[in-house]
Amino acid sequence: MTLDAQGTDAIDRAGLNGQAPRCDHIDQLPQVQYGPPECKECLTLGRPWTRLLVCLICGWVACSDDAQGGHAKAHYQETDHPVAATLEPRSTWRWCYVHCRTV
* pLDDT tens digits along 19-57: 667 788 888 899 999 999 999 999 999 999 989 999 999
What are the backbone angles phi and psi of residue 87, rounded to the nearest 5°? -90, 5
Given a cut of 80, whether residue 14 has pLDDT beyond it is: no
Q: Report which of 52, 70, 68 is spatially closest to residue 60, judged by C-alpha positions.
A: 52
Identify the DSSP state of 21: P
Q: Is the pTM of this model over 0.85?
A: no
Question: What's the rounded Cα separation, in Å, for the pair 2 and 21?
Answer: 14
User: Confidence band (pLDDT; 50, 70, 90) for 12?
Assistant: very low
pLDDT digits (tens, 9 = 90+) for 53-71: 999 999 999 999 888 889 9
